[in-house]
Amino acid sequence: MAFLLYLFLFFLFNSRLNNAQGPPSPGYYPSSRVQSLKFNQGFRNLWGPQHQSLDQSTLTIWLDKNSGGSGFKSLKNYRSGYFGTYMKLQPGYTAGIITSFYLSNNQDYPGNHDEIDIEFLGTTPNKPYILQTNVYIRGSGDGNIIGREMKFHLWFDPTKDFHNYAILWDPNEIIFFVDDIPIRRYLKKNDATFPQRPMYVYGSIWDASSWATEEGRIKADYRYQPFVGKYSNNFKLEGCEANESPSCRRAPSSSPSGGGGLSRQQIEAMLWVQRNYKVYDYCRDPRRDHTHTPEC
């Protein structure tokens, strides 16, 4: 019995030690293959210009009780590509608040749009942020949008420094990256479950108290305003624009092979993240009607 207890404690200690050391190296860094550009080269303000400031190093957007927050939008729309940003989140009480970086065509197809999301769900002191990844395909505007959410905690504190968050979208797959670590891979199984229409790139901060934190149980509290999101003035946008030839392939490869997919080393890093930090997977939610998500 003592020996079994020793083995249990040994493996528990090593598991925690490995977690503290962070994920294994992916061995490949797609962000390094994309040229950086400044905010004004790739984006414009979309709403809340009085709640947005830009200097040489940082774009800052914020939300208070007198505003609906602020958002920005890319100058061009794309039908595939690599889209990345460096973000730093606000510490403390941010419940109900969403800080995001995402692709969407909701302005072109209201009520029937596509979307690929990186969203940080606000939290309360001493509780970690949740990073929500999501994919919509021809989402309905009637409140019955079919989300494909996968949620994660992070292996670092996203309020302490800027970290890179990116979406790689090509005709066959979508990969979400954090500091070049793939955390989720969404494969095209058929046309009905994969976004194919051109999308713009957006960033925003807004009040989503109805659902963002503990399914809406904890709301935004404006005693803690302003709520601030920071984006390094060092964006990564590289892809095929909507009006380019169907044969266009401009984004960096998702893996060192150059042929898409992920290498064995990248898969090991992704599985480490999912094993240790994934907190929700729509495919494993018994409350969901999976006839609407056949890819599960």
Q: CB neighbours (10 Å) of residue 96?
A: 26
Amino acid at residue number 288: R
Please give the distance of CA 292 from its chain centroid, rounded to a whole number: 22
Order the strands of the 43-47 sheet from edge to edge. 43-47, 70-74, 200-207, 97-104, 112-121, 130-140, 150-152, 278-281
Residue with tokens 């060192």: 256
Residue with tokens 């380019």: 244
Report CA-CA distances (Å) from 67 to 49, 202, 222. Answer: 10, 18, 11
Report CA-CA distances (Å) from 138 to 111, 149, 191, 237. Answer: 8, 15, 11, 24
Can 119 be counted among the known catalytic residues?
Answer: yes
Tokens of residue 177, six digits: 């990256």
Instruction: Count how many Cα atoms sit within 13 Å of the Cα of residue 80 in the half-sphere of its side chain.
Output: 19
Can 295 be counted among the known catalytic residues?
Answer: no
CA distance 220 to 96: 4
Tokens of residue 282, six digits: 């729509």
Kindly list the catalytic residues: 115, 119
